Amino acid sequence: MFSSQLTAASAAFQAMEAENRALRARIAELEADPLPPATGGASTETIPTEADYRLRPADIRLDVCVGRTLKGNEDKRWSPAIYRETQCGGKIEEDGLCTRCLKKAAKGAAAAAADAAVTPTYYGWSGRVTEEPFRWQHMLGTAWAVHAAQTGKLKWLGSDSASAIKAAEKEAAKAAAKAAKAAEKEAAKEAAAAAKAAKAAAKAAIKAEANRELMLIGGRIYMIKGRELYEYDTTLDAAGTFVGFLDSATTA
């Protein structure tokens, strides 16, 4: 029972591998004969290639998580959208991956092992930037992209396609909202600092008032602030000319 299941699984895997190999072989042909030209897009625009969506090996950092991130990296100049990879960059927990990526990888692998029709991508696992993308990923050069281009399902629309314009507008609105929020935060911070300074000044004024004291020395009234002795201005009820320090004045 177990061995027959194993044989079936192995055969399915081999068939999948063969299909993958055949599709990968088509990549070379497609590179010599590029993807279909722009349909409705700006004719002057250069159509990106597989390399434009991959990190250059020199740019990959091995001291942080090498999990591949695709979320939010859609290039909607293609239909369907093509993804550009970025590196997770989280703190490595084990085996070059962060805690989150380890979890996603395990969940994705378990699901794919249980059902061949399921791809780990469904579980948010997009592989490692140090490895080739999965065959089903919506990135240029994968078996999926080659097949989709062959069958006309993958189309280059260019920057002036409705979905690309909408995506660019959304991106601009997002950036504007972020800038506004940052400015608001900065203004609130400044207001809080000003309020704090005003409070400190008021406190200092009260303290100064509390610290002053009048003293009769040699028949004259002086105002004392700490150790400083001033003439006392009776009309203004304030310190007048500085006379000297208390020790020397009293001993004089």
172 by Cβ neighbours in 10 Å (0-12 / 13-18 / 19+) ranks as exposed
Work out whether 124 is an interface residue with Zn ion (CB under 5 A): no
Minimum Å gap between C-beta 97 and Zn ion is 5
Please check whether residue 47 is in contact with residue 37, taking contact to mean a CB–CB distance below 8 angstroms: yes
Q: What minimum distance in Å lies between the beta carbon of 65 and Zn ion?
A: 3
Query: 3-state class of 240 per DSSP?
Result: strand
Q: Which stretch binds Zn ion (CB under 5 A): 64-72, 129-137, 161-169, 240-248?
A: 64-72
148 binds Zn ion (CB under 5 A): no
**Beta strands at 220-225 and 228-233: parallel, antiparallel or unpaired:** antiparallel
CB 128 within 8 A of CB 96: yes
- Specify the residue, 123 or 144, whose C-beta has the smaller distance to Zn ion: 123
Site residue total, Zn ion (CB under 5 A): 6
**Nearer to Zn ion by C-beta: 38 or 101?**
101
Tell which one of 35, 38, 53, 67 touches Zn ion (CB under 5 A): 67
Choose between 90 and 124: whose C-beta lies nearer to Zn ion: 90
* 136 DSSP assignment: T
Q: Is 144 left (phi over 0), alpha (psi -120 to 50) or beta?
A: alpha
Residue 105, SS3? helix
- Please report, as residue ranges, which positions from 87 to 106 form the binding site for Zn ion (by CB under 5 A): 88, 90, 98, 101
Q: Which residues form the interface with Zn ion (CB under 5 A)?
A: 65, 67, 88, 90, 98, 101
